[in-house]
Amino acid sequence: MGFFSGLFGGSNSTLNTNIPAFQRAAGFSTGIGEGDVTAASKWYNDILSGDPTKMAEAVAPETSAIQSETQQAKNQMAEFSPRSGGTAAATEGMDANTRATIIRLLGGLQSGAAGSLSSIGTTEEELALQERQAADRAAQQRMANWANSILGHGLISGAQTAEEAGELWATKGRSTQASGQYGQFGV
């Protein structure tokens, strides 16, 4: 069946096997990619939003680690330092340092987030264009296979003959040479 379907219908077993495989791989990659891109885009947008709640949620793991370090240092100071005004001032300094560290963290993330978000958008547009071009090439190859098959050749030749007969009838025997336009189909 494969030989005759290739000969008469332009079927190509490799192309017929690869197209669904490409589609499955593209579907898998698209699903993973969409999830990753959506998460990254949301994170970058949250950082850039200016909304303190969204910004805090975006950097919660880092903030938690910074605050935990500060709390451990305070606990050590409370346990091993004498009770005095200097200890209280040092504790307050730790809190101020924690706030400054978090502010620097957000500032650094904001400056990089705009560029990264732009990069995600540009990459996605490029990938979409490449996918469309690949689909176009596969469709063109399949159409060329069909046109170059015996059945496709016969259909195109039959259509050409019918058109020429119609032109001869309509022009009362004078040819318009429309057949020269079919060279692009390999006829």
In this predicted structure, what is the pLDDT of residue 1?
44
Query: Strand, coil or helix: what is 127?
Result: helix
Q: Give residue-wise pLDDT tens across range 118-176.
A: 777 777 777 777 777 777 777 788 778 777 777 766 777 777 788 877 887 888 776 66
In this predicted structure, what is the pLDDT of residue 157?
76
- The percentage of residues in the chain with a pLDDT greater than 70, rounded to a whole number, is 82
- Six token digits for residue 56: 């805090």
Q: Which of 45-49, 68-72, 138-142, 152-156 has the lowest mean pLDDT?
A: 152-156
CB-based contact 43:114 (threshold 8 Å): no
Q: Give residue-wise pLDDT tens across range 2-38.
A: 555 554 555 667 777 777 777 777 767 677 777 778 8
Position with higher pLDDT, 46 vs 5: 46
In this predicted structure, what is the pLDDT of residue 11?
63
Give the residue among 46, 48, 183 at the shortest CA–CA distance from 112.
48
CA distance 80 to 60: 30
CA distance 63 to 56: 8
In this predicted structure, what is the pLDDT of residue 24?
73
CA distance 142 to 146: 6
